[in-house]
Structure 1
Amino acid sequence: MKLVVALGGNALLRRDQPPTADNQLENIRRAAAQLARVAADNDLVLTHGNGPQVGLLALQAAAYVNVDAYPLDVLGAQTDGMIGYLLEQELANLLPAARAVTTLITRVEVDEDDPAFHHPSKPIGPVYTQAESERVAADKGWVMAPDGDAFRRVVASPQPLRVLGLQAIRWLLEHGAVVIAAGGGGIPVASTGSGESLQGVEAVIDKDLCTSLLARDLQADVLVIATDVPAVYLDWGQPTQRAIDKVTPQALAQHDFAAGSMGPKVAAACAFVLATGQRAVIGSLDQIEGMLAGTAGTQVCTEAAGGVNTL
């Protein structure tokens, strides 16, 4: 099968962990061990989040006041190289020497007139208390917003329109490589006034929405969205909380999910299934083999008895 797997930011750095290199490497080694088991018998494209990492780089860049801080598209490219290198190395250590693993720095086109540029919503960087967030906002001029019981910086998150470099990704897959691409949702670029040239823009694209677009373009057999919970839940955090086992996109669209967490994952899965008729699954990376077998995670597919089956 041709698999496209999106690794959530928590697969690389858990919410409660300080963003150290050692913590990130430990998590990536754990993720690579899971991925290596399914890479052996499948064509595999990996994407990954970069919210904690790009936010940390932005903080570091802002701390050096002798030059202007680098823009988010450049910082995003840096995270693509950093995370891609770590994933590539750990996967290559586990796979046969003949199996190539390749990281591509991937540009993704967005619309410079996307309304998201006027309504920042994508959380990046570390979490803060309310008092800390107010101090950071005043010092850096950043927009801060609630994220659960804490606060984080939010930036523009425009819709991905076109993944650039598809020809290279397809060529690598045809030659047996595991491909790591579109990290952090890809590097956001937009057309200039002439319509011919592209330039980087100050934004971070949602990784799940970009991965869904990439999976459609590659005609993937299964889209896997790996997160830190075993399934999509109805009534999350309530006494009536229950996991969704199998569901159609139409039935899933009848429910509301948090915009900063599960919402984009649900939207990405539904868009892929509706466009291709293939299957998407949302769940824990630790259960990836069961997710592919249809026995774990939330299976989003064209047919489900009653529209929603819960566990």
Structure 2
Amino acid sequence: MKYSYYPGCAQHGTAVDYRISVEAVFGRLGIDLEEVKNWNCCGALHVPDRTVKTGLSARTLASAKGLDMATPCNLCYSNLMRAHAALEDSALRTIVNEALTEKYDGNAKPKHLLEVIVKDLGLPKLTEHVKKPLKIKAVPYYGCLLTRPENDFDSPQNPKSLDELILSLGAEPAKYYYKTKCCGGPILITDEELALGLAKELLVMAKETGADCVVVTCPMCHLQLDAKQKAVESKFNIKIDLPVIYFTQLMGLAMGFDPKELGLSQHLVPTDKLIAKIGGRP
């Protein structure tokens, strides 16, 4: 299995731990992620001009070299999907291609890494690599962008793919009604008070499930729920102390990787208790 790989900005910045776990787990599974050269930002939430924002993602998709385009970031995935749909408009495609050296042809399908595991590899195949069933309870948090815009990967209202992945690793997915609610990450810079309030709602609900951790699929969500968890505790005078880990890190623990090989020591909310419960070494 081989994919063109668009890492997005965070994997070379704030989400190095995510990158470490992706490389370890996908390497073990024999999934080849060929990083595109000279890639650019997807535009995130900061490019208001539709043509420019579509053009940024079109340039990325045009570099796929006949392969599907995999990405680890919910926001990047959403932007690639929106561009893929928007560029069905031939007039817009003509305008965008006039600005591109490598022309967009529409052949590369954007895929989130979770989709690559659940749909392309398949969970039965993944379970063959499980060496240590996890025996923990984990909150599946999809975030607000993974299943939007609507696509054939999972339901935008009630997604199940991450729940099923957690279950396949020997863990129990917690019943969590906020699984697609925004974490506040996209507005953290412009309205920190509101952003922390949104994160507080998610974290309190997650804590009330009795889970051992929250599992995320996006570096922005991880930044908000892990790095900003202390700020939430301080602002609202509450105690959360709930580890937030990437789905690839959860996979790696079940596959028998040492926690250090998965970047778990780089989190701001300590993962020691979680690792000890699984039976690994912090």
Same-fold call, TM > 0.5? no
* Larger proportion of strand: 1
TM-score by length of 2: 0.31
TM-score by length of 1: 0.29
